[in-house]
């Protein structure tokens, strides 16, 4: 017989599992879509560098002089684990979605889609940036009798891309149509319109692009696609 204490502990454990923030890859397509993680990665690393050129040292100095050149793109690396053995289904149902991120977008026709790594309450953090996927490497390690893969580990590398400056003229910003805005506390569609289009009156464009029936119904952490204005 299960004791009351054990049963209560099991309920708490189940509740914590349900509350566990699940990671996902947010793909900047139209409409925006997400690739949820089957299991959160055990860890991830973020790399950011500033490039300086060393110009040597003067007489009497014990350190070189440096001149700043530019800031390099952020880089994020993580591994994802997939296991469908218990269900007897093909694990490629999940891994094939990752490979789509390094293939030419069928709608864009020019390049693979841009995306974001998103995990829990980290909007705007060091790991939250628009990026392209540089590497997807999947290793399959368990198979059914008919050869169907049911376990896999994927290694991914995302490289940050510039999204331009807020308020820039949308007709001159080359990557404008690829932008996604993460709603912050206190922001409204009118404010977001002003930030990206230079005018608060274009909020209807945002509402239509993101299928918002109620323009007041936006929440912090929500992703909004920023489409270019058409004149």
pLDDT in tens, 6-37: 555 444 444 444 456 778 998 988 778 889 89
Confidence of residue 110 (pLDDT cuts 50, 70, 90): confident
Asked if residue 143 is part of any domain, the answer here is: yes
pLDDT digits (tens, 9 = 90+) for 36-87: 898 999 999 999 998 888 777 666 677 777 787 778 889 999 999 999 999 9
Q: Say whether 222 sits in a helix, a strand or coil.
A: coil
Statement to judge: residues 221 and 111 lie in one domain:
no
Can you give the CATH number for the domain in which 193 is found? 3.10.350.10
Asked if residue 8 is part of any domain, the answer here is: no
Most confident of 56-60, 104-108, 111-115, 167-171: 111-115
Among 161, 183, 200, where does a domain finish? 161
Statement to judge: residues 211 and 228 lie in one domain:
yes
Statement to judge: residues 27 and 104 lie in one domain:
yes
Statement to judge: residues 143 and 222 lie in one domain:
no
Asked if residue 79 is part of any domain, the answer here is: yes
Statement to judge: residues 109 and 191 lie in one domain:
no
CA distances from 36 to 58, 183, 228 (A): 55, 20, 28
Statement to judge: residues 36 and 83 lie in one domain:
yes
pLDDT digits (tens, 9 = 90+) for 125-157: 677 788 999 999 999 999 999 999 999 999 999
Asked if residue 58 is part of any domain, the answer here is: no
Q: Mean pLDDT, the chain, as a whole number?
A: 79
Statement to judge: residues 105 and 45 lie in one domain:
yes
Statement to judge: residues 117 and 179 lie in one domain:
no
Looking at the structure of the chain, the number of domains it has is 2
Asked if residue 11 is part of any domain, the answer here is: no
Among 161, 184, 203, where does a domain finish? 161
What's the residue count for the chain?
231
Q: Which domain holds residue 107?
A: 22-52+70-161
In DSSP terms, 54 is beta-bridged to 66
pLDDT of residue 225: 82
* Cα–Cα distance measured from residue 179 to residue 192, given in angstroms and rounded to the nearest whole number: 12
Statement to judge: residues 97 and 205 lie in one domain:
no
**In whole angstroms, how large is the CA radius of gyration of the chain?**
23
Asked if residue 59 is part of any domain, the answer here is: no
Share of the chain above pLDDT 70, in %: 78
Can you give the CATH number for the domain in which 89 is found? 2.40.30
pLDDT of residue 3: 52
Statement to judge: residues 46 and 130 lie in one domain:
yes
Statement to judge: residues 146 and 216 lie in one domain:
no
3-state SS of 153-185 is EEEEEEEECCCCCCCCCCCCCCCHHHEEEECCC
143 or 209, higher pLDDT: 143
Asked if residue 126 is part of any domain, the answer here is: yes
Asked if residue 206 is part of any domain, the answer here is: yes
Statement to judge: residues 114 and 173 lie in one domain:
no
């Amino acid at each position: 017989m299960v004791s009351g204490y054990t049963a209560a502990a099991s309920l708490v454990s189940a509740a914590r599992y349900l509350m566990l923030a699940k990671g996902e890859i947010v793909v900047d397509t139209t409409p925006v879509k997400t690739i949820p993680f089957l299991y959160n990665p055990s860890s991830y690393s973020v790399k950011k560098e500033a490039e300086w050129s060393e110009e040597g040292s003067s007489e009497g100095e014990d350190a070189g002089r440096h001149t700043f050149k530019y800031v390099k793109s952020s880089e994020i690396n993580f591994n994802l684990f997939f296991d469908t053995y218990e269900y007897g289904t093909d694990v490629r149902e999940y891994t094939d979605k990752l490979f789509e991120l390094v293939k030419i977008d069928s709608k864009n026709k020019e390049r693979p889609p841009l995306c974001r790594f998103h995990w829990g309450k980290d909007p705007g953090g060091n790991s939250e940036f628009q990026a392209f996927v540089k590497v997807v490497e999947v290793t399959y390690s368990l198979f059914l009798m008919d050869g169907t893969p049911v376990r896999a580990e994927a290694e991914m590398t995302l490289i940050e891309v510039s999204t331009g400056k807020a308020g820039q003229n949308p007709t001159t910003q080359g990557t404008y149509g690829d932008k996604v805005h993460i709603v912050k506390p206190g922001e409204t569609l009118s404010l977001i319109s002003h930030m990206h289009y230079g005018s608060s009156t274009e909020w209807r464009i945002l509402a239509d692009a993101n299928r918002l029936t109620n323009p007041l119904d936006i929440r912090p952490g929500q992703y909004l696609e920023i489409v270019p204005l058409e004149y």
